[in-house]
Chains A and B, each alone.
Chain A
Amino acid sequence: MILFEDVSHDYGGGPLFRDVSVRLDTGSFHFLTGPSGAGKSTFLKLCYGELLPSSGKVTLLNRDLRAMSRDQLAETRERIGVVHQDCQFLDHLSVEQNVGLPMTATGRPVKDSDISDLLGWVGLSAQADALPPTLSGGERQRAALARAIVSAPNVLLADEPTGNLDWEMSQRLMMLMIELNRMGTAVVIATHDLNLIRFAKAQVQARVMRISGRKLQLAGSEL
């Protein structure tokens, strides 16, 4: 599904990580950890083609990232849900419109009731008509997660998706991602939250990847 082969990335000040080879299969569940600045967000950006690797090969959904046309990249992203650390919304559209955007902007039909159900799941029913700038940090993260999963993607990439949430809501969102994973979605979550990782590992077979010393290390099943 997502394949890294000897991938290195360099922003110009030396490689952030190098010779990373990893395979993220259908239905897999991975956590990505590591110190701040180690390259977790960069790794995720490579996973949805926002960045091209400095060297090596990235294959997204059976397509070589470098060889993809812009339309092919967009088509690939239709099947990848992304929760950004800074969320990123269209601030002049309502939460409901933002959540439905992956469907409406790509010409796929979406039922209002589906979006309402999803907003209910992430606890944002009351904020459906609100504008994103009026939401709290936690509400923005929940809305971003709802937008990322509205299209039932093949891959879900989430960068600190529970950073601003209380434990109860974090568990609830984690359960949502686990349910999605059980339906076949590959999930990659970058997080520092060890409790969250333990919670998830109790529910699903998750592997932990750690970026450290410019290398990606794949931990065993035990944390």
Chain B
Amino acid sequence: MSTRAISGLVVPPKGHSVWLVTLSAAAMAFLAVFALALSVTSARLAASWAEALSQTATVRLASPPEEMELQTALVLDVLRTTPGIAEARVMELDEQAALLEAWLGPDLPLDALPLPRLIELTETREGPDRQGLRLRLAAEAPGAVYDDHTRWRRPLVQAATRLQAVALVALGLIGGVTAAIIALAASAALSSNGQVIRVLRLVGARDRFIALAFMRRITRRALLGATGGTALGMAALLALPEMDAAVPVLAGIGFQGWSWALPLAIPPLAALLAWMASMATAFRVLRGVT
């Protein structure tokens, strides 16, 4: 029998610590899948919100009703002659009604309200000189206000970025807790196998051989547990109910496309963590055995 083969056999196959490693790795991998999903989703949200609003803007025109058409024409003329504006379109009344419906209800008498006129802009990638545009609008149509959505977009992007940071911190914490649990389990495994260690030292086995025997066992169990936990986590994500547009923030929590490959990195990472944690513990415990 080879050294490697006997190394796989010297640690007794049964023991509570072995189950502790498997179960804790499974539980932590399950949680890690969700933390990762949250991180990926928040990154995607931040990108999509930034992207969705980044090349649009609105000009809000408040004017006495009798001057509204003239002012609108002036504003459109300014916009069409401004470099960086790809398109300018006056929003229809029913479009404005749809926007206000969420706050004021469907039976809104728009014609009775002094609503400003909204002009939707699509900007080129370079965008206009915003300060210059504001000055020109103020000169040509004093009631026109250029809004590039920055004040709406920035807090949304910030919120999504912070959510992503929280998810990454959660991932780090899960990794730390996993390492701590595995280190404890390794310590318990080594303590409960004092006889094995004494016999191996007695026959001349090096610490490296003994530590490797325990590290292999613990790493294999962690890999097994993490694989199961990851599979369960991915299945649970797939089983989440579809969020419709009524809850836009929750829509799409989980992985999309290639990002489904990301959780597949969890089991090998858990195994690596288990390998390092059990190695540190094994050599520390072995130093106390003659």
Q: Are A71 and B206 in contact (CB under 8 A)?
A: yes
| A223 beta carbon closer than 8 Å to chain B | no
| A23 beta carbon closer than 8 Å to chain B | no
Q: Are B201 and A93 in contact (CB under 8 A)?
A: no
Scan A38-49; emit 1 where CB is below 8 A from any B CB, else 0.
000000000011
Chain A contact surface mostly: loop
Chain B residues 1 to 46 lying within 8 A of chain A, measured CB to CB, are: 1-3, 5-7, 9-10, 12-13
Q: Are A147 and B207 in contact (CB under 8 A)?
A: no
Contact size range, A: 20 to 34
Interface contacts (Cβ under 8 Å), in number, total: 84
Chain B residues 201 to 229 lying within 8 A of chain A, measured CB to CB, are: 201-207, 209
Q: Are A50 and B6 in contact (CB under 8 A)?
A: no
| A203 beta carbon closer than 8 Å to chain B | no
Q: How far is the CA of A84 from the CA of B2 in the complex (A)?
A: 25
Q: How far is the CA of A107 from the CA of B290 in the complex (A)?
A: 20
Scan B244-266; emit 1 where CB is below 8 A from any A CB, else 0.
00000000000000000000000
Q: How far is the CA of A52 from the CA of B10 in the complex (A)?
A: 27
Scan A84-108; emit 1 where CB is below 8 A from any B CB, else 0.
1000111111000100111011110
Residue of B nearest to A73 (CB): B290
Chain A residues 48 to 81 lying within 8 A of chain B, measured CB to CB, are: 48-52, 70-71, 73-80
| A209 beta carbon closer than 8 Å to chain B | no
Known: A90-B10, A97-B9, A100-B1. A105 touches B203 (CB 8 A): yes
| B104 beta carbon closer than 8 Å to chain A | no
| B199 beta carbon closer than 8 Å to chain A | yes
Known: A90-B199, A105-B10. A75 touches B204 (CB 8 A): yes
Q: Are A97 and B204 in contact (CB under 8 A)?
A: no
Q: Are B204 and A78 in contact (CB under 8 A)?
A: yes
A88: which B residues are within 8 A, CB to CB?
A: 195, 198-199, 202
Q: Are B196 and A90 in contact (CB under 8 A)?
A: yes
Q: Are A106 and B204 in contact (CB under 8 A)?
A: yes
| A118 beta carbon closer than 8 Å to chain B | no
| A16 beta carbon closer than 8 Å to chain B | no
Q: How far is the CA of A88 from the CA of B200 in the complex (A)?
A: 10
Q: Are B9 and A93 in contact (CB under 8 A)?
A: yes
| A156 beta carbon closer than 8 Å to chain B | no
Partner of B290, one of A51, A75, A100, A110: A51
Residue of A nearest to B196 (CB): A90
Known: A74-B201, A105-B204. A50 touches B9 (CB 8 A): no
| A2 beta carbon closer than 8 Å to chain B | no
B5: which A residues are within 8 A, CB to CB?
A: 104
| A82 beta carbon closer than 8 Å to chain B | yes
Q: Are A82 and B202 in contact (CB under 8 A)?
A: yes
A90: which B residues are within 8 A, CB to CB?
A: 10, 12, 195-196, 199-200
Residue of B nearest to A52 (CB): B290
Q: How far is the CA of A78 from the CA of B287 in the complex (A)?
A: 19
Residue of B nearest to A77 (CB): B204
Scan B176-204; emit 1 where CB is below 8 A from any A CB, else 0.
00000000000000000001101111111
Q: Are A71 and B207 in contact (CB under 8 A)?
A: yes
Q: A residues within 8 Å of B by Cβ?
A: 48-52, 70-71, 73-80, 82, 84, 88-93, 97, 100-102, 104-107, 110, 147
Q: What are 30 A-B residue pairs whose CB atoms fall within 8 Å in the complex?
A: A50-B202, A50-B290, A52-B290, A70-B207, A71-B206, A74-B201, A74-B206, A74-B207, A76-B204, A78-B203, A82-B202, A88-B198, A88-B202, A90-B196, A90-B199, A91-B195, A92-B12, A97-B6, A100-B6, A101-B200, A102-B203, A102-B204, A104-B2, A104-B6, A105-B200, A105-B209, A106-B205, A106-B206, A110-B1, A147-B203
A-B interface, 8 closest residue pairs, ranked by CB to CB distance from nearest: A78-B204, A77-B204, A104-B6, A102-B203, A105-B205, A107-B3, A92-B12, A74-B206
Extra contacts besides A50-B290, A101-B203 (19): CB < 8 Å = A50-B202, A52-B290, A75-B204, A77-B204, A80-B204, A84-B202, A88-B199, A89-B199, A90-B12, A90-B199, A91-B195, A93-B10, A97-B6, A104-B2, A104-B3, A105-B7, A105-B10, A105-B209, A107-B3
